[in-house]
Structures are given as structure tokens and as C-alpha cells.
Amino acid sequence: MPTLELARLSVRAGGLAFNERVSFSLSPVYLARALLPGYGRPVEPENIEYVATVGVGGLLLATGSLLLVVRRGISAANGIWGRSAQPALRGVSLLAALGLFLALGLYNPAYLVLARFVPGFAHFRVPARWLALWAFGGAMLAGVGIERLARGEMRLGW
């Protein structure tokens, strides 16, 4: 309740102008740079908002765990999360996808509709910060991939 009361007194009480809502959107041109580490090239301080990497290994492990579930079905999803792993994996996958989807901001037509018509979206800027959801979901999926490697359900090789 205190936050709700304070929000009414804030400079953003009436919402932000549309240009401010979509400022610092992640451009599709920089998507690979945002998701992959910049080897030998440090990230400039003004671009730090656009980086949310789980690393190449993390991407490979996350992709492998998703492919294993798709290929083998629900039995492959059982593991450290127990029998209810399939809904949990779907939720984590959705979280990661939603983070990428919303981070595109201005370059995403659906985000433009959300920014104009969904209550609450008028108070937020910097869509690239949604990459935090991607980073969390990607890391969780990579962890599932590590577990599958340890249990012998996935193999490394060509």
C-alpha cells in the first residue's frame, strides 16, 4: 500500500511519454551481442543495459535440455524437480522467452500495444531491462542441462 500511495505523488504518476517508455529498447541488430559474451571486448558503460549473457555453454546446455524434453516428452522432464518438472520447464522457458520478447520494446509490435494500453506499462522505461528475465530463465535451463549431462541423458559430441 505505501508504494501505491507514493506512486500517485511521483513524477511518473501520469505515466511517461511514449518515446520515454520505449527508450533503450534492445535492437534486433544487437540481439546476438546481448546474448553472447564479447570475448576480448569489454562492454562500454553506456551499453551495459543491453547485455544479459548466460554464456555460450549456458546457451548450449539450455538448448539441449529443451530439445531433450521436446524429443522425449514428459519422461525426460522428470529429475531434480520431480514428476511436476514439465510445467516447471515450460514456465522457465516462457519466462526466458518473455524476457527476450519484451526487451525488444520499440522493435516489437506487441510491446507497442502493451505500452499504450496495458495499465502500469506507462510507468516503466528501458525495455532492455526485461533481459533480466531472460538471464534467469536461461540460467535455470542451463542448470537443467547440467543435471541431464550428469545423469547421462545428454551426451557431448558431434
Predicted pLDDT at 13: 65
Predicted pLDDT at 82: 53
Does residue 158 sit within a domain?
no
- Is the pLDDT higher at 97 or at 71? 97
Predicted pLDDT at 72: 61
Domain region containing 102:
25-150
Q: Which of 35-39, 111-115, 128-132 has the lowest mean pLDDT?
A: 35-39
Does residue 140 sit within a domain?
yes
Does residue 3 sit within a domain?
no
pLDDT tens-digit series, residues 41-53: 777 777 778 888 8
Under a CB-based contact definition with an 8 Å cutoff, are residues 33 and 50 in contact?
Answer: yes
* Beta partners for residue 79, in sequence order: 82
Does residue 118 sit within a domain?
yes
Q: How confident is the model at residue 58 (pLDDT cuts 50, 70, 90)?
A: very high
Does residue 156 sit within a domain?
no
Number of domains in the chain: 1
Does residue 53 sit within a domain?
yes
Mean pLDDT of the 7-29 span: 77
Percent of the chain with pLDDT over 70: 83
Predicted pLDDT at 14: 66
Does residue 145 sit within a domain?
yes
pTM (two decimals):
0.78
Q: Is the pLDDT of residue 70 over 80?
A: no
Predicted pLDDT at 135: 93
Q: How confident is the model at residue 9 (pLDDT cuts 50, 70, 90)?
A: confident
Does residue 143 sit within a domain?
yes
SS (H, E, C) the chain: CHHHHHHHHCCCCCCCCHHHHCCCCCCHHHHHHHHCCCCCCCCCHHHHHHCCCCHHHHHHHHHHHHHHHHHHCHHHHCECCECCHHHHHHHHHHHHHHHHHHHCHHHCHHHHHHHHHCCCHHHCCCHHHHHHHHHHHHHHHHHHHHHHHHCCCCCCCC
Under a CB-based contact definition with an 8 Å cutoff, are residues 99 and 131 in contact?
Answer: yes
